[in-house]
Amino acid sequence: LEDRSESQDDFLRFVKKIWSGFIEGKHHKIYGEKLQAVADGKLKRLIINMPPRHTKSEFASYLFPTWLMGRKPDLKIIQATHTAELAVGFGRKVKNLIDSEDFRDVFPNVSLATDAKASGRWSTNGGGEYYAVGVGGALAGRGADLAIIDDPVSEQDALSVSALDNIYEWYTSGPRQRLQPGGAIIIVMTRWSIRDLTAKVLQKQNEKGA
C-alpha cells in the first residue's frame, strides 16, 4: 500500500515501477521535477528542449499522461505531434498501459471506458478523454486540461520557413484556444531552427513581459 501511494504521488517513482529497465540520469531528475510541478498545478507552461533519444517523448507523451490519467481519471488530454499517425501511436501506448496489470497495481480504480476502441480517441471510466491529432489537424469541439505538443516539426521540414510559421499559427488558433480554465501546455521538442515553435513562444512571452 505504501509503494502504491508513493507511485501515485511521485511521477519518477511511477516511472521506475512501470519501466523496469529505466536508468535514471541527471536530466531525468530535472525533467521529472518539472512534470511533477505540472501535475501538482504549480506550473502551467513547460518547454522541454532535448536532442533525440533522451527519453523526452517516453516521459511527456507516454508515461506522464498515463500517470496523470490515473491520478485524475476525468482529465481531458490533447496529444499532438508532427503527424497524426505518430500522435495516434502515442495514444495506443498510453491506452495499452492503462489496460495493463502494472497500471492497475498502482491505480486499481481507473480503467478504460467500455467503448474505448480507437487508439487516438478514447475515454476512461472516470469521464476523462484522450484525443490525438497531427499538427494542423482540426480541434473543433475539443477541450483540454492538458495539451502535449511533441516534436511539432519533422526533421525534413525543420528548415522550411512556411512550415514553421504554419505550426505557430496552428498552435495559437488550436491547442492554446482549447485549454480549459487552469489548463497546462507542454511543448517538448528537439530544436532544429531558430525560427521554431520554441523560439516563437518565448519571443511572444518576452514581448508581453517587456
Distance (Å, whole) CA 75 – CA 69: 6
Report the pLDDT value the prediction gives residue 155, as an integer from 0 to 100.
Answer: 80
Report the pLDDT value the prediction gives residue 209, as an integer from 0 to 100.
Answer: 55
pTM above 0.75, yes or no: yes
Residue 195 cell numbers, joined: 525560427
Report the pLDDT value the prediction gives residue 191, as an integer from 0 to 100.
Answer: 92
Instruction: Count other Cβ atoms within 10 Å, centred on residue 160.
Output: 15
User: Side by side, which strands form the sheet with 121-123?
Assistant: 45-49, 179-189, 144-150, 76-81, 129-134, 121-123
Distance (Å, whole) CA 137 – CA 146: 17
Segments in the chain below pLDDT 50: 210
Residue 139 cell numbers, joined: 480541434
Report the pLDDT value the prediction gives residue 210, as an integer from 0 to 100.
Answer: 41
- What does the buried/exposed string (b/e) look like for 60-74 if buried means 16 or more CB atoms within 10 Å of the residue's CB? bbbbbbbbbbbbbbe
Distance (Å, whole) CA 188 – CA 38: 14
